[in-house]
Structures are given as structure tokens and as C-alpha cells.
Structure 1
């Protein structure tokens, strides 16, 4: 028990055959207090969120919302064995997702015709909501500063399945009972099952779909449209999007999506807002490149599953529209540089490097942490 990496066996925190830990990890006084302080902060954020009437109603309305009961355990598992800069970087990334996700769900529940907007209380807010496919890049939202672009799939399936891996099995089974082929990617399959089960919030004035990352997503969108009962537009992005011959087509798809949004919301594309958000977006990408370059060295600093989930949120969902994330990126970069200068190791011994990839509904996201703690693979 102490501040050093691998100072105690992490497996002893769990009872045989049980998934939850018996106690919190002791990381030395300084790191333990920091970790506990972050735990309290998340408790306050989630407590404030869960006490809202719309959230309480959602808890008893949507099956998938129960997955978030394991949110604290999720963060703990993904920071097992971590100390020093990596602990602080991990918390900054995970905790920012907690804050952003609760805001997203708050908007969805307020505008939901089943919950907050059952009697038109949030009609004005709902008029500003555009439903965006979880795999659709939010870059198109950069030019609409007065609109709220939200994805219902992200809280319902995408993030929920990282927190509770078996939490979306029900929806996959619903899809297969609907005679959807069982070899379809589990993410769009689960999303489709959620739509068939009528378990998505009903809100927004229009919806943007896309065919990425695979045709399974496009298949699901067609049935989700029946659930949404909203005007929708599908951006059919070419898979070989860097090929010169498809660039004009890709541009036309984006322009058509923008016109569709303008028609159904009454808002006009704002080039100044787009340029401002692009500047933030590019600055974030430059810092991310710094992280990757650092990770090529013998002293990688930003690794584990937190970099993936945080990057998904920042790059795809936020897309430069929230400048506070740029400030957070700079703080993370400063921590990483300090750790690199001090030759801090992310694991007791770094033996190999690995890139772990998989669909969230399909693989165990804490696998990265197990690799680092037990095998020195980062």
C-alpha cells in the first residue's frame, strides 16, 4: 500500500466472482486525497443532475439509464493502479465527460415528449435541438451557434455500453428478434434495438443521419426514423473520403445538410462562428498531436482508455464548440510535459506498445488498464 506503482495487488480489491470492489485503492496520501476529491466532485455533479424531476422520470422510463448506476465504478476501474500525472490526466478527461454527458442528457430529458416536454413546457428549447447521428461529425454544427446539436445514441448506447458492458445486450436481442442479421456490428444493432423498443427520447425539430462508420449504421437509421417521426437528412459519406474524385460529392453532401438544417430551424449558417470554432478545433488537434508524439518516446504520458473516450467526446461531439475543452487540453498537456521531463513511467515497466480497438458494445474497455498493470503494455 503506497504511492509507488504496483505497490499492492489490485485483484485483492474484489471478492471472488464479484465485479465491484471492496474498498478504494490507497495510492499514498497525496494521490489518494486527489482521487477522493475528484470522486466527491463527480458525486456532486451527478447528484445535482439526478435530483432534477426530468432525470428522475427518465430513470423510471428508460431501461438504458440504469447503466449509469455503475459510473463511479467505471471511473475507478479505468484508473486502477494509476499514480501521479496519469491519475490527474485521467480524472481531467473522465470528469469532463461526466459534466458534458449530464448536460446532454439534461437537454434530452427536458425536450423529451415523454418526460419534460409532455405538456410543451420546453417547446422553445426543443425548437433549437437538432438530433445528430452519433457517428456524424459535429463539424457541421460549428456554423450554428444558436442551435443545440445532441445525439440520443451517445448516452443511450455508446457511453452506456462502456460503463456496463452487458447493458445493451437486451437491445441487440430485440434487433435479432426483428430479424436483423446477427453479424451486424453490435453498436448500430444495439441502437436499432433501442429504437424498436421505443426507448430513445423523442425530441428535436429535425435529425441528421450518416452512413458512417459502416452500412450497419445506415440500416439502423431507416428504422430509427420511424421512432423519431422527424424530418431527416442522411449524409452519405464516401468511404474513401480522401480520394480526389469524391471531394466535390462530399462537399455537396455537407452543403445539402446545412441547407436542410436552415430550412427546419430557421437559423442561418454563420461563417464567423464557424471560423472561430475551427480555430479552437485546430488548436485542440495540435495539442493532441503533441500527446501522440510524446507517446512515441520511452516515457508516454497520456494513455489508457481515457484518451480514447475523451478524444471521442472532444473531437466528434464537441468539435471546437466549447472553448473550455481547449483550456482543459492545455492543462493536460502541461501535466504530460511535466511528467515527461521528470521521466515518469505510466506503468511500473513499459515492455510494449499497443493500440486497442473495438466497438464499445463488444469489448472490455478496462482491458487497457489490465494490460498496463499486469503486462507493461501501454
Structure 2
């Protein structure tokens, strides 16, 4: 609807989606280009589907009937249990209205950060909730559904935005709201029972307010599809770990996994996963090396930037650093036992607790330190630490982390790359590149593959 573009500023970001694609596939060739385009096509198709449902269901644009058949839910809350309510469309509002914006246009996140700060939210925190609140301050979330399914999200920073998000997404309390919370210490045996209780509580809430009983048959079939697609993903990880066929570049790989986790298995991922696995095996059988200029195989840890997501492409083209796997890819891949309802809910509860960002950065320092085990599994010689300066969780463990990194310095090169997640003004892409350049020149004594990429001004670029 053209009305949505006039109503919501964030909609304009999607007009430059082709530019985002160009950034993500820069210097791709051959079979890797085919794989990356398949993954991007999946994400774009899924996004178009969600945007179409939001616009169709939006009361602000005149809708009154279809909206009752939608289930709006929070970012980092996967839609798995909503497969048990056939006939209802579930809509991840925050992902499309907030999270995606700096990926498309880097300046868009800053606009909404300023809106949050203008109403008293501290600026020195994670900028993801700041952008979410900024959209709420502008009253730019579509008015969808009769309920709101929220969550406690990955970290404490999101607690700052609860009141603003509640007011906007519940229509100032007119809609029923359920907080689907999960324990941060997700692998502590004492929290497993709590997580199972939360899944059942969310199902009961949906049953009550949708007027429909939970359908175990459709839910079970959906979880079987999740299992199959996760099994295919694990096969691709084996290829990443044991060959130089990196079928999906670092940007496409990470966001493809995050999208899959959020949206559960649907027709878009079902179709693309089969194609990707076939191409991966073709590449391996032909002995294709998709990273011929790689000097270092790296695992990327902690949360990466959104406004400079394509920085991973620069790392390879300038310095020969291939990000083989990244932290947020390693989410939601646990297989679900579908043999009986009790086991299935236990496994689904565990999947809900292991959200992007949370899985490896909170709930105990042991999760953060899984970086070394992961680096070994994927045959990496370098650890790329994304340093989100607004992330208080990782900052709290900084001393321990640096101590452990030093202890492993004989096994791995440790490279820090700073960013501010969604606000490019705090740490610009140029600032991030400078820190990498300094490390590569002074510590590793290496020369760039392409000297023209070492220093350039992209401050005005999208």
C-alpha cells in the first residue's frame, strides 16, 4: 500500500534493498554468488510476505477484519509455537520495523536512536532497543492484531524499553499482552522446568485470546520440518569446517540463520535449503575454493554491526580474512524430539531460550568462552571479536575475556573490531577499519591484498 510509505518513515528504507544486496555480494563469483542470491531471495521473499501481512492487517491504514487473524510478536521470539494455530498469520513486527533498517540504510538507525534519547532513554546502551523505542516514540508501529506476545529479549538493555514498547504495541493497554520470558541461564538444570512452564503459559494465552485450541498435529509437522532444515544446515557447517568451500559469505550466512530462527521453517526456507545443500555438495565434489585469497580463517564472536554488516566483505578483500562462521549463526540448531509431546515441548523450550546474541554472551561466562572450542571446530587460526561498545553484558566480562584471549594467543590471532550496532555515528565504518588496519600492520606485520581498500571515505554512503 502506498499509504504505508507516507505513514511510516521506516518503510522508505526498503526502497534501497537492491543497494543492500550489492553490498552483501560484493566480489562474489560463480557458485558462491548463486548460493548467496538464493539465501538473499529467501530473506527478501519472507520479508515481503511479512510486510504485506502487516499492511493488510494495520488498523491505522483502515483495516478492521483481517487483523483479528494475526499474531504480532516480539523480535528474538521465534514463531515456532504459532504453528499450532493454523488459520492465523504471525507477524514479527520489530524485525521489519526496527532491526532491518540500518542494514538497508545506515543512517536510518541513528534517526530512531535520537528519538529514544529525546524522551530520556540513556544513549550509552545497546542501540537495538534504542531504535525499537524510537519507532514507538514516533508511533510508527502498525496497529496489528488484538494481542501482543512479548519477551524479555536477549539482555538487560531491553528492559529499558519495556514501558514505551508496551504503550505502543498494546495500544496503551487496550490489547492483551503476554510476556513470554525465558531464563538467561538457559543450560542450568534448575531453569529447564521454568522454560517449559513459559511455553505452556504462552500457548494457554494464545488459546484464550484467539479462541482456538492448540493444534498438536500442525505443530508437530512444523517441528519435523525445522529438524530437517537444521540437519541440512549442520551438513553445511561440516563443509565450512573441513573445506575451503564457504558457500555462503559471512554476511548472507549469518542473516540467513537469524531469519530462519525467527521465522521457523516455512516454504521459503524449505525451498532454499534444498537448493543450497545441493550446490554445496557440487562445490565440494568439484574441489572449488571460494576463498582463494584467504590468509586467515576466522570465527566472528559477539554481536556484529548492522550498519556495517558488509564489513565482513571488506575484511576478506582487503586483508584476506575469511569469516568462516559467526556467533549468531550458531543459534537454534538443536534437533527437536517429536516422538512425544513432553519431549517436544522440552526441546522447543530450550530452543526458545537460545536466542541470537543471548546464546553466547549471557547466562554465564562459559557461553562467551565457547569461542575457542568453536574456532577449533571450524579450523580457524583467528578470532574476530566484534566490540559493540553499548553491550554491557560483554563489557562486564571484558577483563575475563581478555585474560582468556591472552592465554590462547599462541593458538589464535585475536582481532577486535569496534562498532555501535545500529548507530554509525558513534563508531563509523572508517573507525572500525582503522583499528583492523593498525592490528594487521603493526601486530601481524602483513600487507593488504588491495592497498586501495585500506583507507577510503564512505561517510556519505548508505
TM-score, length-scaled by structure 1 = 0.80
Question: 1: distance between equivalents of 2:83 and 2:168?
Answer: 27
Which residue of the partner structure matches residue 325 of structure 2? Answer: none
Q: For the residues of structure 2 that align with 1:154 and 1:358, how far apart are their CA atoms?
A: 19
Change (3 A) 1:62 1:360: farther
> Is 1:331 equivalent to 2:275 in the alignment?
yes
Partner of 2:59: 113
CA distance, structure 2, for counterparts of residue 71 and residue 193 of structure 1: 22
Residue 257 of structure 1 deviates from its aligned partner by 0.8
Segments of 5+ residues of structure 2 without an aligned counterpart are 323-462
Aligned-pair distance for 1:166? 1.7
Matched with 1:246 is 191
Q: 1:360 to 1:138 in 2, by over 3 A?
A: farther
- Pair 358,113 (structure 1): closer, same or farther in 2 beyond 3 Å: farther
Alignment of 1:351 onto 2:301 = no
Alignment check: 8 A CA contact 2:102 2:307 kept: no
- Is 1:290 matched with 2:235? yes
* Equivalent residue, structure 1, for 2:451: none
Please give the alpha-carbon distance, in whole angstroms, between the structure 2 residues aligned to 1:131 and 1:187.
19
Per-residue deviation, residues 90-130 of structure 1 (Å, max 9, x unmatched): 0001011111111111111111111141xx3xx1x211111
- 1:166-315 alignment to 2 at 5 Å? 166-228=107-169, 229=171, 230-299=175-244, 300-315=246-261
What's 1:340 paired with? 284
In the other structure, the counterpart of 1:376 is: 320
Report deviation, 1:362: 5.2
For 2:60, what is the secondary structure of its paired residue?
coil
Q: Whole-Å Cα distance in 2 between the matches of residues 141 and 365 of structure 1?
A: 30
Do the aligned residues in 1 keep the contact of 2:112 with 2:134 (CA within 8 Å)? Answer: yes
- 1:58-84 per-position Cα deviation (integer Å, ceiling 9, x unaligned): 111111111112210110111111111
Conserved in 2, the CA contact under 8 Å of 1:109 and 1:116?
A: no
Task: Give the whole-Å Cα distance in 2 for the aligned partners of 1:149 and 1:218.
Answer: 24
Q: Deviations over 1:13-65 (max 9, x none)?
A: xxxxxxxxxxxxxxxxxxxxxxxxxxxxxxxxxxxxxxxxx2x1111111111
C-alpha contact 1:162 1:360 (8 A) present in aligned 2:
no
Measure, in 2, the Cα distance between the counterparts of 1:169 and 1:308: 23
Structure 2: distance between partners of 1:287 and 1:74: 27
CA distance in 1, matches of 2:151, 2:94: 13
1:40 match: none
C-alpha distance in structure 1 between counterparts of 2:143 and 2:282, whole Å:
46
Q: Identify if the C-alpha distance between structure 1 residues 163 and 212 changes in structure 2 by more than 3 Å, giving closer, same or farther.
A: same
User: How far, CA to CA, are the matches of 1:170 and 1:277 in structure 2?
Assistant: 38
Q: Distance in 1 between matches of 2:299 and 2:139?
A: 36
Task: Select between 84-93 and 220-229 the one with higher mean Cα deviation.
Answer: 220-229
User: For residues 116 and 287 of structure 1, what CA distance do their matches in structure 2 show?
Assistant: 42
Contact kept, 8 Å, 1:161 with 1:361, in 2: the verdict is no
Which stretch shifts more, 299-308 or 231-240? Answer: 299-308
Distance 1:94 1:362, change over 3 A: closer
**TM-score, length basis structure 2:** 0.66
Q: Structure 1 residues 158 and 351 mapped into 2: Cα distance closer, same or farther (>3 Å)?
A: same
SS state of the match for residue 355, structure 1? Answer: strand
Cα deviation, residue 357, structure 1: 5.1
SS, match of residue 201 in structure 1: coil
Task: Give the direction of change, closer, same or farther, for the CA distance of 1:342–1:375 in structure 2 (3 Å limit).
Answer: farther
Relative to structure 1, the CA distance from residue 218 to residue 233 in structure 2 (aligned partners, 3 Å threshold; closer, same or farther) is farther
Helix, strand or coil at the partner of 2:277: helix
Structure 2 contact 39–252 (Cα < 8 Å) conserved:
yes
Q: Stretches of 4+ moved more than 4 A in 1?
A: 357-363
1-structure distance, mates of 2:303, 2:108: 14
